[in-house]
Amino acid sequence: MATPAMFDTLDDCLTDCRDRLIRAAHDRKVPMHTPVIVTGDVDARVMVLRAFDSAAWRLRLHTDGRSSKAEIIAADPRVAMLFYDKGAKVQIRARGTGEILRGGAEVDAAWAASTNFARRCYLGEGPGTVSDTPTSGLPPEFEGVEPDDAQLVPARENFALLRITLTELDWLYLAHTGHVRAQFVRAGDGMRWEGRWVSP
């Protein structure tokens, strides 16, 4: 991947956004693998980017269908994202439209691709459940224990996907010689991006 300092055109910056998101979805070692996701209630949390459809510019993340963000997104689908790579000195801010998927082939495939240890997170109490003591929310028998497939049947009902279709991008390269910033919005047909240079 070329260094951002070499990017002289808007197309180069848009390509950098795309390439970084492709890599972030597949490489857990890169900083952009764990973006900050902000919902319409102005609440923010770090999530794991599981997949990126570069043709549709669509992100996929996993969530608990009982979480407050699932309810918020159903009422207000606006979602903002922040990706930052300190080493590369690149920040990507994005906006998009979110939706919660609880069933269907895409959700089934994501569930099937998960490990049993990851799936057990959906066995416990719903996110935000009040407790008198520090708790993982997991049933005691699954603390540090990997459930088998039969034990995970109830968890599938709580598993959901957060799918975000990107509509705006703000790309920023931080440099001691002078920062460089570009913005992009989806064109009227939704298939193309229109870009502009802006002052950092």
Contacts of 72 (CB under 8 A, 6+ apart): 39, 40, 41, 43
Q: How far apart are CA 163 and CA 165, in angstroms?
A: 7
- Are the C-beta atoms of residues 40 and 75 closer than 8 Å to each other? yes
CATH number for 124 = 2.30.110.10
Other beta carbons within 10 Å of 135 = 13
- pLDDT tens-digit series, residues 160-196: 999 999 999 999 999 888 899 999 999 887 789 999 9
3-state secondary structure of 10: helix
pLDDT per residue as tens digits for the range 82-134: 999 999 999 999 999 999 999 999 999 999 999 999 999 999 888 999 999 99
Sign of the C-alpha dihedral, residues 153, 158, 159, 160? Answer: positive
Cα separation, 61 vs 48, in Å, equals: 6
Strand partners, 84: 91
The residue segments making up the domain with residue 27 are 4-198
How many domains are contained in the chain?
A: 1
Q: Which two tokens stand for residue 52?
A: 């990126």
- Contact call for residues 4 and 180 (beta carbons, < 8 A): yes
